[in-house]
């Protein structure tokens, strides 16, 4: 009963202050735990009634789902999850092994093959829950995970959007002999702020909020090995619709590499969109609205 009274009080307070009720509804995502090969995976949900579809987000190399995709800054709309909600889509965001609310496994390492398997398990769970195929949206390393999953486990995938795609289709990652101890390096505020490189594209308050949220969620950098498994990435093996989403000033998204990759994509339902003025963190910057709209336009171009 006390919780119900508190909710009613906050609801009335939002109305009194003239704030939208949707802002109250978007504050906290729902957490699910999905078992992947005996390992608990944290999956975050922000759903809408009668959704047009479902989008699953996968974060990048350093930071987990909530700092990246549900950043809360007073007076600013920066949550990617809420942005997709506003256009009618239910959104889910996965914490990979060793990130956010998903613990490391017993090996202490994450690998591309594990990441693809985990994402496939979560996608199967989502398809069974929703009765629909899922639109996968990956950022940076997450775009590589999304591609590897789509190549190997496409059955639950409706489309894949690759944003901040940081690899080259002609790259050959060498096999590293021997397995050293995980570094467990402390993450830093400098690292958390490093992707924001276009002047004036994001407020100082938002950068500070991201740094705080990122360090709270991911104080220790996750450790990866077996990176030669990325050599399995192959556009010719992508049979699902693909959107390649690139920000103009993203130092990790090479236009020449994108061009060579784009022509290899097997599925003819493909688009390549460049966001003017954006960098690797464009989802949190001034191009955010265009990034969201471009992503939804691609999904809807495929037919609802």
| Backbone phi and psi for residue 202, each to the nearest 5 degrees, phi listed first | -155, 145
Comparing C-alpha atoms, which of 206, 295, 178 is closest to residue 245? 295
* pLDDT of amino acid 304: 52
Return d(Cα 100, Cα 77) in angstroms, integer.
22
62-113 confidence digits (pLDDT tens): 999 999 999 999 999 999 999 999 999 999 999 999 999 999 999 999 999 9
* pLDDT of amino acid 1: 35
Return d(Cα 203, Cα 208) in angstroms, integer.
9
Comparing C-alpha atoms, which of 226, 115, 230, 224 is closest to residue 172? 230
Task: Say what the pTM is.
Answer: 0.91
C-alpha dihedral (58, 63, 68, 69), degrees to nearest 10 = 40
CB 285 within 8 A of CB 279: yes
Classify each residue of 8-21 as buried b or exposed e, where b means 16 or more C-beta atoms within 10 Å of its C-beta. eeeeeebeeeeeee
* pLDDT of amino acid 180: 82
Return d(Cα 176, Cα 195) in angstroms, integer.
28
Give all domains of the chain, ordered by start, each with its CATH number.
34-173+183-301 (3.40.50.1820)
Measure Cα distances from 283 to 170, 223, 277 in Å: 27, 25, 12
Residue 72 buriedness (CB in 10 A; 0-12 / 13-18 / 19+): middle
Residue ranges of the chain with per-residue pLDDT less than 70: 1-27, 304
* pLDDT of amino acid 16: 34
* pLDDT of amino acid 263: 98
* pLDDT of amino acid 177: 82
* pLDDT of amino acid 178: 73
**CA of residue 58 relative to chain centroid, distance:** 3
Residue linked to tokens 């997709």: 84
Return d(Cα 70, Cα 77) in angstroms, integer.
10
Can you spell out the DSSP letters for 103-158? PP-TTS-B-HHHHHHHHHHHHHHHHHHHSS-EEEEEETHHHHHHHHHHHH-GGGEE
């Amino acid at each position: 009963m006390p919780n119900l009274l508190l909710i009613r009080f906050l609801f009335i307070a939002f109305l009194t202050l003239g704030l939208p009720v949707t802002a109250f509804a978007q504050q906290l995502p729902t957490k699910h735990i999905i078992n992947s090969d005996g390992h608990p995976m944290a999956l975050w949900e922000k759903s809408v009634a009668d959704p047009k579809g479902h989008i699953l987000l996968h974060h990048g190399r350093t930071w987990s789902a909530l700092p990246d995709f549900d950043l809360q800054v007073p007076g600013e709309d920066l949550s990617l999850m809420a942005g997709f909600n506003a256009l009618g889509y239910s959104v889910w965001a996965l914490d990979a092994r060793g990130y956010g609310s998903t613990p490391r496994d017993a090996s202490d390492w994450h690998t591309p093959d594990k990441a693809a398997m985990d994402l496939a398990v979560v996608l199967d769970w989502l398809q069974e829950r929703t009765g629909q195929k899922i639109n996968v949206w990956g950022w940076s390393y997450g775009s590589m995970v999304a591609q590897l999953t789509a190549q190997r486990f496409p059955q639950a995938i409706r489309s894949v959007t690759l944003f901040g795609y940081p690899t080259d289709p002609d790259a050959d990652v060498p096999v590293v002999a021997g397995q050293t101890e995980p570094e467990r390096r402390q993450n830093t505020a400098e690292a958390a702020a490093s992707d924001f490189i276009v002047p004036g594209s994001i407020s100082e308050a938002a950068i500070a909020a991201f740094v705080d949220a990122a360090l709270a969620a991911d104080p220790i950098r996750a450790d990866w090995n077996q990176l030669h498994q990325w050599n399995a990435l192959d556009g010719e093996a992508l049979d699902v619709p693909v959107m390649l989403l690139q920000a103009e000033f993203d130092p990790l998204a090479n236009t020449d590499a994108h061009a060579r990759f784009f022509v290899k994509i097997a599925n003819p339902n493909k688009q390549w969109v460049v966001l003017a003025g954006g960098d690797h963190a464009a989802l949190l910057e001034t191009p955010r609205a265009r990034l969201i709209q471009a992503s939804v336009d691609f999904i809807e171009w495929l037919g609802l």
